[in-house]
Amino acid sequence: MAEKKQTAKKPSLKQVGLSEQGLMDLYTNLLKTRLLDERLRKLFRQGRYAGTYFSAVGQEATTVGPTYGLRDEDIIAPSHREIGASVTKGVPLDVIIGQVYARRNSPDKGKSHPCHYGYRARGVITPASTLAGQTIVGTGCAMGFKILKKDNVVVAFFGEGSTSRGGWHEALNYAGIHKLPIVYICQNNLWAESVPATLQAGIRDFADRAKAYGFPGVTIDGNDVVLMHRTAAEAIERARKGKGPTLIECKTYRWYGHSEIDPADYRQAEELENWKKKDPVLRAEKFMMDLGILTTPKREALVEQIDQEIDAAVQVCEKEKYVEPEEAYNDVYSEDFPVWRDEY
């Protein structure tokens, strides 16, 4: 069992620890993530880009909440379902969409894989596919901050399935020994591709894993963006002050398949329906409306504005070409070492 278990109480604006504007920003990021994600799904189905797409619809709060309020130099260590972290960290939309389109304007120039969103200018590490990879590398960033005596922090994201990996253990173990400035966000969406969480670990609450490392672990409702933000912000503050890491497990759910080519027929329809009722975006809306910060017209105006932003960014990417084939030779090494080229 996790050390504490919280359910969403209705906090007043003061409890949230955010101004009205702050709360509005948090919500805007949440909504933008949702709209962008659904748009990218649609564009995939329309065959507008190659590869596949990993939707995070249903679990936006788990990435938006912790990221909101971070500094530019703070590091995000994402996996494959963290589009919300990029959005909230302020990565331009054409850069995010560019990555998915894998064109010339993609930060990786089309080299890696769609959904591997990274952007150095905002401290977002480009993920590799090997799960928990960025948990390990991100922990190394935190080690770096500590050695450099900087007061920056790292927020590392991963799914519950990724906690089975040995490298994940080695990273958290190290962070525990050295009290590194890092916050670990475990998005427990109950499934790792087709494997249920019950076949991923002999425990129910993945926050319990923190007990092996000597730092706090908490399990919270991952569909409550305000709770997500508040819990993470506290942990980030702790980390920034040198008090060490926190593992936050957030219970959530992905609405669609593992990627767009997965019908997800290993799940029960009922399970999905239940979770859809806990939609993190609707929930935030209701909360904001209850507080009187949001109104339906205001919301509609916001949707309109975001949609236009997305339209414009998609346009940019649609116009872009792929790189030239010879681009394959670049970025293997620094300019000190040219790559050997065979002529065939």
Q: Find the binding residues for a copy of itself in span 232-291 (CB under 8 A).
A: 244
Q: Given the complex with a copy of itself, which of 212 and 301 has the nearer CB atom?
A: 212
Given its phi and psi angles, is residue 158 left (phi above 0), alpha (psi -120 to 50 degrees) or beta?
A: beta
Euclidean distance between CA atoms 144 and 141, whole angstroms: 5
DSSP letters spanning 187-214: EE-SEETTEEGGGT-S-S-GGGGGGGTT
Does 164 contact another protein by CB under 8 A? yes
Q: Given the complex with another protein, which of 304 and 318 has the nearer CB atom?
A: 318
Distances (CA, A) of 289 to 24, 158, 265: 11, 31, 36
Does 213 contact a copy of itself by CB under 8 A? yes
Q: Measured from the CB of residue 203, what is the shortest distance to another protein in angstroms?
A: 12
Token code pair at residue 173: 């173990």
| DSSP state for residue 49 in the 8-state scheme | S
156 forms bridges with which residues in the sheet? 77, 184
Interactions with another protein, residue window 234-293 (CB under 8 A) = 266
Interactions with a copy of itself, residue window 141-180 (CB under 8 A) = 164-170, 173, 175-177, 179
Which residues have CB under 8 Å from 98's CB, separation 6+? 105, 106, 107, 316, 317, 320
Q: Residue holding tokens 């909101």? A: 68
Q: Given the complex with ligand TPP, which of 18 and 137 has the nearer CB atom?
A: 137
Half-sphere exposure of 208 (CA within 13 A, CB side): 8
Does 332 contact another protein by CB under 8 A? yes
**What is the contact mask toward another protein in residues 165 to 204, using x (rule: CB under 8 A)?**
xxx--xx-xx--x--------------xxxx---xxx---
Does 323 contact a copy of itself by CB under 8 A? no
Does 202 contact a copy of itself by CB under 8 A? yes
Give the residue nearest to ligand TPP (CB). 159
Distance, first Cα to last Cα, the chain: 61
Interactions with another protein, residue window 32-61 (CB under 8 A) = 50-51
Q: Given the complex with another protein, which of 41 and 165 has the nearer CB atom?
A: 165
**Which partner in Mg ion, another protein, ligand TPP, none is near 81 (CB below 5 to 8 A by kind)?**
ligand TPP
* Torsion angles phi and psi, residue 20, rounded to 5: -60, -45
Q: Residue holding tokens 């995070």? A: 56
**What is the contact mask toward ligand TPP in residues 87 to 126, using x (rule: CB under 6 A)?**
----------------------------------------
**Which partner in a copy of itself, another protein, Mg ion, none is near 110 (CB below 5 to 8 A by kind)?**
another protein
> For helices 280-291 and 225-240, what crossing angle results, to 10°?
90
Q: Which of 140, 159, 222, 244 lies at the binding interface for Mg ion (CB under 5 A)?
A: 159
**Which partner in ligand TPP, another protein, a copy of itself, none is near 189 (CB below 5 to 8 A by kind)?**
ligand TPP
Does 61 contact ligand TPP by CB under 6 A? no
The stretches of the chain forming alpha helices (DSSP H) are 13-16, 20-45, 61-67, 83-89, 93-101, 133-147, 166-178, 225-240, 269-276, 280-291, 296-319
Q: Residue holding tokens 């949001």? A: 294
Q: Given the complex with another protein, which of 27 and 191 has the nearer CB atom?
A: 191
Applying CB under 6 A, the residues found at the interface with ligand TPP are 81, 129-131, 158-162, 187, 189, 191-193, 258
List of residues contacting a copy of itself (CB under 8 A): 164-170, 173, 175-177, 179, 198-203, 208-209, 211-215, 244
